């Protein structure tokens, strides 16, 4: 079974600084997606960024980028120029895409609560 581990329950960062959230996962599959989701206090889960396992290039979305190390099964999220609105719970998630596989559920880590200090 796939597992996702986020070893940092809480992180804090100063506004305008850079912070990196860690995530490791375990799977025997070779084809899958990895995601970072943001859940602000309003509770609406929002997709921040996603990475396809077969792509070696790290995904980037504006101030958000990932460091995907497939061999190490590591998938960290870097937030540059942190803003007050980035404060939220961040979840790392895994989803397999193997053709013929029928279970496309998202498997989530426990989350990292990010605080942004002004």
Residue 46 and residue 66: Cα distance in Å, rounded?
Answer: 16
Nearer to another protein, 98 or 117 (CB): 98
Nearer to another protein, 14 or 115 (CB): 115
The yes or no reply on residue 41 touching another protein (CB under 8 A) is: no
Q: Which of 27, 50, 70, 76 binds another protein (CB under 8 A)?
A: 50
The yes or no reply on residue 40 touching another protein (CB under 8 A) is: no
Pairing of strands 112-117, 10-14: parallel
Question: Please, which of residues 56-75 interact with another protein by CB under 8 A?
Answer: none
SS3 state of residue 97: coil
What does the CA dihedral 19, 38, 115, 51 come to, rounded to 10 degrees?
Answer: -10
Pairing of strands 64-69, 74-79: antiparallel
Q: How far is the CB of 48 from another protein (least distance, A)?
A: 12
The yes or no reply on residue 80 touching another protein (CB under 8 A) is: no
The yes or no reply on residue 49 touching another protein (CB under 8 A) is: no
Residue 109 and residue 50: Cα distance in Å, rounded?
Answer: 15
The yes or no reply on residue 91 touching another protein (CB under 8 A) is: yes
């Amino acid at each position: 079974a796939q597992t996702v581990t986020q070893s940092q329950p809480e992180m804090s960062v100063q506004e305008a600084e850079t912070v990196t959230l860690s995530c490791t996962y375990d799977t025997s599959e070779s084809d899958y997606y990895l995601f970072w989701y943001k859940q602000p206090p309003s509770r609406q889960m929002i997709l921040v960024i996603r990475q396809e396992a077969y792509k070696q290039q790290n995904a980037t979305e504006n101030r958000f980028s990932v460091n995907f190390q497939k061999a190490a099964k590591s998938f960290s999220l870097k937030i540059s120029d942190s803003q007050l609105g980035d404060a939220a719970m961040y979840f790392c998630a895994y989803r397999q895409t193997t053709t013929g596989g029928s279970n496309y559920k998202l498997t989530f880590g426990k989350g990292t609560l990010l605080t942004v200090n002004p």
